[in-house]
Structure formats: C-alpha cells, structure tokens
Amino acid sequence: MFPALKFAGHDEPSKFRTARPGEAIEIADRIRASGARVVLVGLGCPRQEIFAYAMRPLLDMPQLAVGAAFDYHAGPLRKPPPWMQRAGLEWLSRLDLEPRRLWRRYVILNPAYLTRLFAQKAGRWKAAPPPPATEPLSEFPV
C-alpha cells in the first residue's frame, strides 16, 4: 500500500528490567541515527506510554504508542468480526481473547478513566501532571 515507506529499524528491549543509568540517551541516539521520522512504540500498556513520555525531551519526532497494532497487522492477533469493528467493540473481542491479562484494564481502569474525564469536563476535577519520567524502561509487575 505504501511503497515509499521505509522502516528505519527496530529494537527489542529486554522485558521486565530496569534501565541502566544513561540508557535513555543511548536509545535516543540510536533512534536519531536510524533516520526515523516517526517512532512506533509497541511495548504493551503501560510500558509504551511510560517509554514515550520519558523519551519526549530526547527525541524531536512524533512517538505513537501503538499497542497491539503490530500484532493485528502482522497476523498473530485475530481481528474481530467486521460488525464488532463497526460497532466499536474491538475491545470486547480482545477481552475475549485475553481475559486474564485485560480484565482489569477494561473492567476497572477504563471506567475510572471515563469517570475522571467526565469530572474534568464538568469542572469537578483537575488532573495533575505526572512527575517527569527519568528512564524509559522500568520494571512493572503487570
């Protein structure tokens, strides 16, 4: 579909490890040296969001936390039926495929997010910015 599209590189960081001091700068240098103009981050939630947030001051190109997009497009993750896609129920299909991993996100975290979103829109709650992230790779018990 996009014959001029070029992949500048990829990296597979070790799972479940804490970054070495200064590793963020090394990663940013590799990304800049690759010639990439956009960085797609697919580390899984919330690792990819934390990575992108920590790398903001070090990279001058857009970063997109893409989640399961790589798995959908590469084939390992089965796409939901078209009617679910049209109805915006892809999340329900994912929950059916990986209930042990995703139940907390969809049953607890998504309603909490929506509650805060509506409270913020109504002027009843104000979000505090997160503290600056210092390292792009952290250990998570998720």
| Lookup result for tokens 């579909």 | 1
141 confidence band (pLDDT: 50, 70, 90): very low
Helix (H, G, I), strand (E, B) or coil at 60: coil
pLDDT digits (tens, 9 = 90+) for 26-81: 889 999 999 999 999 988 888 888 889 889 999 999 999 998 888 887 778 888 89
Residue (of 134, 129, 112) closest to 56 by Cα position: 134
**What is the rounded CA–CA span in Å between residue 3 and residue 5?**
6
Please state the rounded mean pLDDT for residues 124-137: 75
